[in-house]
Amino acid sequence: MNRYEALFVLIPSLTEEEVKAAIERVKGVIEGNGGVVDNVDEWGKRRLAYEINKINEGYYVLCNFTSNPELPKELDRVLRISDNVMRHIIVNLD
């Protein structure tokens, strides 16, 4: 089991319920594949360093989790196809 950190940026036009649903979807992928979510830190809306698709803001979420080495590949796939996620990165902390 390795420790990982996933940071993803959601589009800012989402409602509070849609943000919670997106976070729960990520947690569901992690826990559904044998991982353990250690911490979810919602940073909220922040200004982006550069404009992405004519959008200047994003809703940042940081998620720390522990899992086997195959899970980040699946999480990356899910985040890539999600329409609500603008950018994401998954980092191995070990």
User: What confidence tens digit (pLDDT) does each residue in 23-54 have?
Assistant: 999 999 999 999 999 999 999 999 999 999 89
Residue 94 binned pLDDT confidence (cut-offs 50, 70, 90): confident
Q: Is the pLDDT of residue 81 over 90?
A: yes
Tokens for 77, please give them. Answer: 């796939």
Q: Is the pLDDT of residue 88 over 90?
A: yes
> pTM of this prediction?
0.91
**C-alpha span between 83 and 94 (Å, rounded):** 30
**C-alpha span between 86 and 78 (Å, rounded):** 12
Tokens for 10, please give them. Answer: 């959601």
Task: Please give the domain boundaries of the chain with CATH numbers for all domains.
Answer: 2-92 (3.30.70.60)
